[in-house]
Structure 1
Amino acid sequence: MSGPLFNLLVSYLLLCSSFATAIRIPHTITNKHGIHSHQNIVKRSVTLDLPRNPDYAPNGPVAYALGKGDVNADTVTNDREYLSRVGFGTPLQWLNVDLDTGSSDVWVYSNDTLPEVAGNRTVFRIQDSSTAQKVANTTWIITYGNRAWGNVYNDTLSLATIPFSAPLESCISASPSLTADPFIDGIFGLAYGLPSQTTPLQPTVLSLLLPHLAAPLFTTDLRHHSSAGAYTFGYIDPARCKADSQIHYTPLVQGAQFWEFAYTGIHVEGQADWYLANFTAIADTGTTLLLLNRDMTELYYSSVPGAKQNWTVGGIWTFPCQLEEDHHPEESGSQEGWGGGEGRGGGELPDFEVGFENGFVARVPGRFMNYTVMPDDAGRCMGGLQEWDYEFGIFGDVFLKAVYAVFDVGGGRIGFAEKDLGDGE
């Protein structure tokens, strides 16, 4: 996946073709988290810091290819990672894993992993854990364009001060699209109601974690180019929101497996009108980009001079890294009840806004919408918003970095609040 752009395009096409089997959305599903109260369980809350990896080389086309293929794999090989230290086994072995709201399985590289797949990364040493018990006749396979697969164990997991027992999937082999990033040691799935990818079916880690939490929820505070972000489990941290901002909740769609919710429209800074309709999107910490349908994507880039699609790498939207001054000729208008801002000019990308039925408007600053420089042309940059050919959108890290997000499992809803974005507003 790090070779010539032609290979990236081929990989992109292969990943897209596997989407239907990878995401597996049934027509109906009953969400069951199995929340039980046990007298011997101590309910806790905890904060996990999110150190950013500043050393991983930017590669925008790869991030888009993975995003287009499957929502579960994007942060494995993107240029900006939010990894958390999670403990595995007894005594605890601490690994850097991606907390991923777009998948439900927890899998790690281990001494089961083929040497050519594991490389020089840190792996979980199963033989060193006194609590690891292999689950007989049980395997797992997850499709991320190609595959990751392996054995299943029951073992102790620890989110900071919260230990609990859960299935742990040990990787035997994985596709190059996953193994290309040497800094990540595994994936920790936190999807709302998606079943695990084990055969036979095992309980999800989220369902087993919930009884240990002081409240059945977790939050994300991802930060743009910063290590100041964190996940919190079992509580909401008001210090991470703006002082005058409340949390605005939206119910998940009926039968949701992912963190899928409705929104009512989008607005591009400098444009007079909102694009209004009934849409749904998935909040996915495991996807770097913001992925929307063609109409919305074209609407945004119509306000970016020189923006165009690069068809040598699957149609990625790019723009001149040095934008013209004052490219927002109009002040942005707004429909009643929505609000809006003035065009910035100054050679920046326009802000992007998302509206909700509850009245909340999430603003993604234009600087968040500039994802990275194209690897084949230092004069052109790749946008953080890209085209997505499915009915629902993917609100990945580009969006989530702009809000404080509450994943309320017990309430079957998601909440967003304003936070300080460091731009003086």
Structure 2
Amino acid sequence: MHRRWLLLPLLSSCASAFYPYHGGDEGESNSKRFVPLNLDSLSAEEPGVVTLDLKKIPTKRDNQFPVVLSSKPSAPNAMAISQDGQDYTYFSIMNFGSKGQEMYMLVDTGSANTWVMGSNCSSNACKIHNTFGTVDSTTLQTTTQTWSMAYGTGQVQGVVAKDTVSFANYTVEMGFGLASNASDDFSSYPMDGILGLGRPSSDQLGTPTIMQVLDQQGDLSENIVGIHLQRNADGAKDGQITFGGLDSSKFKGKIGYTKTSSQTNWEIAADDAGVDGKAAGFKGKSAIIDTGTSYVLMPPSDADTLHALIPGSSHNGEIYIVPCSSTASVYFTFSGVKYAVSPKDYVGRPSGSGCQSNIVGHQPFGPDEWILGDVFLKNVYTVFDFDKNRIGFGTTSDTDDASSASSSAASSATSTASGTSSSGSAAASSAASSALATSASESSTSTATATATTGSSQTNSASSAAATSTESGDSSPFGDASSSSNAGSEMTVPVLAVLVLALVTGFMV
């Protein structure tokens, strides 16, 4: 199978989204492309634009990357997830080498590859990011093993290296990619590298993945990660990723699990989708759950069907327009449980007489495959279970009333203890204020998850996946898909232009 990357200049001003995907198409197995999504840009003077103060940190960065830093989690096995202030790019800070070099790492469940920009990289993108090399660590070991990942207008390539990596309460020695060249596409994003949290079989570096290393060292109570993505408009600064357990304070009631339909990707069977309790009637669909994708992507026919249930919606090509004042609740059903998507997340930037929908009609894979990115994931607490090959969702306080168990799914108590706080509401309780920083803040230890779509999907029909529910406390904006289009309209906001790093996490097989 082969994976591609799509560069989706965001549905908003100064924003672009990374969107890696693979499909059963022609091309090299490691081929990826950036396909720009050209949407109306929003000027800083328009309503809904918030100006954030920048806190300058003395680092190597020559460019300003505004970010909203999350509070440090109280759990020792958890790492904060910060973002760009627009819900497009989510990331965490990890420390590399003997001197603890801080690196913004895009959290990507679409690929297992972890890599950082190297200090010997002379590309423009590397010059404005934190880099890592022998000057930053006396324990860095480099090899002659090379790797290369292709992206539309350029590539990321380098050698495989090995060193210590610190995050949460862990310090591990692991292999990762050290990039010696990175295309200019990365100049617009705050990330210095990618943290691969995909299925191990999607790794292309030939080294144990970060989850394999933690598991082999016996550092995990369970071989799982729990992820909570925050919504900036709510003033939340509690984004976090928990290794080896769950944080029961981030969701209410039960975690509903669904078996994955592939050993390669985080893909599960979808029962249906709908709006305000009215089902769309989908059958045989599957969804790739991707922290690296900013939007929800559906084949045009499916997007048509879903938007037809939203009162007042219309579309032009792959882009849909919905009323800016829409109160309709969109939902997706897995293992008999409906998970609602708030209008706060699917109603995007103003466009003409309405607002752009963050549910895009684009078919990256097969006609029955969707990608559910951060637009969906901000409404649930998500668990990726590596050993039991399943994905779990828990509802948050914002969506609990709209999410309901609609059928009797097998229910078994599988409470996985989380090191952080007691079960209860998903209240955003950030003890410390999160600052908007232009670069990796030295005092913070968060791990970044870009909103780019990083998911990759295997073309297996997910309809065969076994699902279980358990408890626990203008036409085509993508342009010609066969060619690498130019980026969308110029962003009016500095560097933040790449907000939707939705695809930054590459899907590769």
Contact 1:21 1:143 in 2 (8 A): no
Aligned-pair identity in percent equals 26
Contact 1:214 1:235 in 2 (8 A): yes
Does 2:208 match 1:208?
A: no
> Aligned residue for 2:122?
114
Calculate the TM-score normalised by the size of structure 1: 0.71
> Aligned residue for 2:269?
262
Within 5 Å, which residues of 2 pair with 1:149-228? Answer: 149-181=157-189, 183-198=190-205, 201-211=206-216, 212-225=219-232, 226-228=236-238
Deviations 1:142-163 (A, max 9, x none): 2333421112211111122111
Does 2:83 match 1:52?
A: yes
> Aligned residue for 1:385?
359
Give unpaired runs (5+ residues) of structure 1.
26-43, 57-78, 322-346
- 2-side partners of 1:259 and 1:2: how far apart? 21
AA partner of residue 348 (structure 1): S
- 1-side partners of 2:273 and 2:254: how far apart? 21
Calculate the TM-score normalised by the size of structure 2: 0.60
Give unpaired runs (5+ residues) of structure 2.
1-6, 32-74, 403-509
- Which of the pair is proportionally richer in helix? 1
Residue 268 of structure 1, CA deviation: 1.4
- 1-side partners of 2:400 and 2:223: how far apart? 33
Q: Quickly say closer, same or farther: Cα 1:227–1:18, change in 2 above 3 A.
A: farther
Contact 2:339 2:399 in 1 (8 A): no
Residue 46 of structure 1, CA deviation: 0.9
> Aligned residue for 2:308?
302
Does 2:361 match 1:351?
A: no
Q: How many residues get paired?
A: 339
- 1-side partners of 2:22 and 2:203: how far apart? 22
Q: Quickly say closer, same or farther: Cα 1:310–1:114, change in 2 above 3 A.
A: farther
Q: Quickly say closer, same or farther: Cα 1:388–1:413, change in 2 above 3 A.
A: same
Q: Quickly say closer, same or farther: Cα 1:280–1:304, change in 2 above 3 A.
A: closer
Q: Secondary structure at the match of 1:277?
A: coil
Structure ranking higher on relative contact order (CA contacts 8 Å, 6+ apart): 2
Contact 2:280 2:305 in 1 (8 A): no
Deviations 1:292-335 (A, max 9, x none): 12222112222445644445xxx3223454xxxxxxxxxxxxxx
- 2-side partners of 1:413 and 1:213: how far apart? 17
> Aligned residue for 1:395?
372
Q: Secondary structure at the match of 1:113?
A: coil
Deviations 1:92-140 (A, max 9, x none): 112111111011111112212214232322222433212110112x111
Does 2:55 match 1:85?
A: no
> Aligned residue for 1:105?
113
- 1-side partners of 2:285 and 2:301: how far apart? 13
> Aligned residue for 2:282?
276
Q: What is the RMSD computed on CA atoms of the aligned residues?
A: 3.3
Residue 238 of structure 1, CA deviation: 1.1
AA partner of residue 250 (structure 1): T
